[in-house]
Amino acid sequence: MLAVNGFQVYDLGVNVSPEAFIAKIRETGAQLLGMSALLTTTMTVQREVIRQLEAEGMRDHIRVMVGGAPVTASWADEIGADGYAEDAVGAVGLAQRLMGLGG
Ligand code: B12
C-alpha cells in the first residue's frame, strides 16, 4: 500500500533487531520508520528501537509509526512514536501526514 502510493519501501522482514533497523536507516537515509508487532511480547521492542534512535542521535531525523494487532494509539504515545494507524489504508494516510504530504 505504501509502495503504490509513491513511497520507496525497504521491507526488513520479521524478527528485526533494533540494530538492524538502525543500520538500514543509516544505509538508506530513510525518513520514515514503520514497525509492526503481532504480539504483546514483541511490541516492547518498538520502545527499545525508539530508545536506541534517541541514543544514536537519530530520532530528530526520522518519523516513527507503529502498528499491529496488539498496538494502540495510547501505546504509540507512551513510547514516543509519531503515530499509529489501525490498518493499511490508515497507515498510508498517516505516512503522508508525517511526511507533510497531505492526504
Ligand atoms: C494468523 C495468526 C497467527 C499465525 C501467523 C502466521 C504468520 N506466519 O504470520 C500463527 C498460527 C503462526 C500464529 C501463531 C501465534 N499467535 Co497468532 N494470530 C494470527 C491472527 C489470527 C491474524 C494475524 C494476521 O496476520 N492478521 C492479518 C494482518 C494483515 O493484520 P495485522 O498484523 O493486524 O496488520 C494490520 C494492522 O494491525 C495494521 N498494521 C500492522 N502493522 C502495522 C505497522 C504500522 C507502522 C502501521 C501504521 C499499521 C500496521 O495494518 C495491517 C492491515 O490492516 C491474529 C488475530 C488477529 N485477528 O489479528 C492472531 C494473534 C496475533 N495471535 C496471537 C497469539 C497469542 C499467537 C501465539 C503466541 C499462539 C501460541 N500460543 O503459540 C503464536 C505466536 C507465533 C509467533 N511467534 O509470532 C494473539 C496475540 C495476542 C497478544 N496480545 O499478543 C492474536 C491477537 C490472537 C488472539 N486474539 O489471541 N498466529
Probe residue for ligand 1, chosen from 12, 32, 38, 87 as the CB with the greatest number of ligand atoms within 8 Å: 38
Phi/psi of residue 83, nearest 5 degrees: -175, 165
Task: Give residue 22 CA to ligand 1 midpoint distance, Å.
Answer: 24
- Alpha-helical segments (H) within 1-103: 18-28, 40-55, 73-79, 88-98
Domains of the chain are 3-98 (3.40.50.280)
Task: Give residue 29 CA to ligand 1 midpoint distance, Å.
Answer: 29
Label residue 42 by pLDDT band (50, 70, 90): very high
The overall pTM is greater than 0.85: yes
Angle in degrees, CA 90, 36, 23, rounded to 5: 120
Phi/psi of residue 15, nearest 5 degrees: 55, 50
pLDDT in tens, 44-60: 999 999 999 999 999 99
pLDDT over 70 at 103, yes or no: no
Task: Give residue 48 CA to ligand 1 midpoint distance, Å.
Answer: 20
